[in-house]
Amino acid sequence: MRLVLFDLDNTLLSGDSDFEWAQFLIERGVLDREVYEARNQAFYDQYKAGTLDIHEFLDFQLKPLSRHPRTQLDIWHGQFMREKIMPIINPKARDLVDRSLREADLVAIITATNSFVTMPIAKAFGVEHLIATEPEQNGGEFTGKVAGTPSFREGKITRLDAWLKQRGMDWEGVQESWFYSDSLNDLPLLERVSNPVAVDPDPTLKVRAEKSGWPVISLR
């Protein structure tokens, strides 16, 4: 089996959907600018530096989902897609995904960002399979907590193995695998696949890719 995996933020997107979602809510007055903007930037800086406490961040990110009805969140998300996401989907990223969908046996987006934010983005790329951090729900409404293992760092491997198992597969059955990512946080999964690819990489990943002989590409 040929498996192709894509990170989302700053890989297929020329921006970060997590960061942009919070900024979108701040701009609409849903979140208080004075309280949330500095924290949003601080968490983003920690992510880029590889120092993010994922559980602290998820508490920040998921609690606002619990304060509003799902119908209202869906309306906001439609606006978010049009205003924030579609402008940062580049033609090169679309072409790479389209080629992978034609040539690979299985293609998935695997991201630390929660599935409420990212599922419509995966659909915009035509990718059926999404492995993302899952917000806990009760009766279709969000509780503000995370369900299961966050899809972050080593957690991406845990979630990927569980996802394959659900489909009656395991890693031993994957003959060739690719993972495209920009981030040092994805080194555990990049080291696992047979074909790691650094995409517009951060400085740490770029050094590692060059040292290891991994391809370095740009989709921007």
- Other CB atoms within 10 A of residue 10 CB: 23
Residue 31 CB neighbours (<10 A): 19
In 167-198, which ranges are continuous DSSP H helix?
A: 187-192
What's the rounded Cα separation, in Å, for the pair 203 and 40? 22
Please give the domain boundaries of the chain with CATH numbers for all domains. Answer: 2-217 (3.40.50.1000)
Least confident of 47-51, 161-165, 177-181, 209-213: 47-51
Structure tokens at 2: 């040929």
195 CB-near residues (< 8 Å, 6+ apart): 176, 177, 178, 179
Burial of 185 (0-12, 13-18, 19+ CB in 10 A): buried
Residue 35 banded pLDDT, cuts 50, 70, 90: confident
Residues 23, 14: Cα–Cα separation, whole Å: 16
Range 30-59 average pLDDT: 89
Comparing CA positions, the residue from 57, 21, 54 lying closest to residue 39 is 57
The structure tokens listed for 60 are: 């920040």
> Can you tell me the mean pLDDT for 7-32?
95
Q: How far is CA 178 from CA 29, 162, 190, 208, in A?
A: 41, 18, 8, 17
202 is catalytic: no
> What's residue 88's pLDDT?
98
What global pTM score does this model have?
A: 0.95
Distant-in-sequence, close-in-space partners of 9: CB < 8 Å, separation ≥ 6:
15, 16, 17, 18, 19, 111, 112, 113, 182, 183
Calpha distance 164→146 (Å, rounded): 21
Per-residue confidence band for 77, with pLDDT thresholds at 50, 70 and 90: very high
Residue 182 designated active-site: no
d(CA 212, CA 10): 21
Look at residue 13 in the predicted model and tell me its pLDDT: 98
Which of 9, 18, 182, 202 is flagged as catalytic?
9
Question: C-alpha angle 209/215/217, rounded to 5°?
Answer: 105
Residue 217, strand partner residues: 199
Contact in structure between 198 and 206 (CB atoms under 8 Å): yes
Antiparallel, parallel or unpaired: β 141-147 and 129-138: antiparallel
Looking at 7, 18, 182, 186, which residue is catalytic? 7
